[in-house]
């Protein structure tokens, strides 16, 4: 199994938001959010500041650090 590089689902749940709520705030489909969370594909770099703002965290918080298992 491949290692995840992002923590989008955890950040979304911590923010108390549904995938649909995040998708509406970002102007993308709910399927896009689902794909990001399962890392089918990842958000573009230019989307990260708004994504972090919507989720109430820093951009760094969206990524798994090398120190985690």
pLDDT, residue 51, reads 97
Determine the longest span between alpha carbons in the chain, in angstroms: 33
36 φ/ψ angles, rounded to the nearest 5 degrees = -65, -45
Residue 63 has pLDDT above 60, yes or no: yes
pLDDT band at 1 (very low <50, low <70, confident <90, very high): very low
| CATH of the domain spanning 8-57, picked from 1.10.260.40, 3.40.50.970, 3.40.640.10, 3.40.50.300 | 1.10.260.40
pLDDT tens per residue across span 48-57: 999 999 999 9
Closest CA to 35 of 65, 6, 66: 6
Q: What is the mean pLDDT of the chain?
A: 91
Q: What is the pTM of this model?
A: 0.86
* CA gap 60, 53 in Å, rounded: 12
CA angle 27, 21, 35 (to 5 degrees): 70
pLDDT, residue 3, reads 75
pLDDT tens per residue across span 13-32: 999 999 999 999 999 999 99
């Amino acid at each position: 199994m491949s290692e995840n590089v992002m923590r989008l689902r955890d950040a979304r749940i911590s923010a108390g938001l549904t995938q649909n709520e995040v998708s509406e705030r970002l102007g993308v489909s709910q399927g896009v959010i689902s794909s990001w969370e399962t890392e089918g594909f990842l958000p573009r770099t230019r989307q990260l500041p708004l994504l972090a703002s919507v989720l109430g965290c820093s951009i760094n918080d969206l990524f798994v650090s090398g120190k985690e298992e």
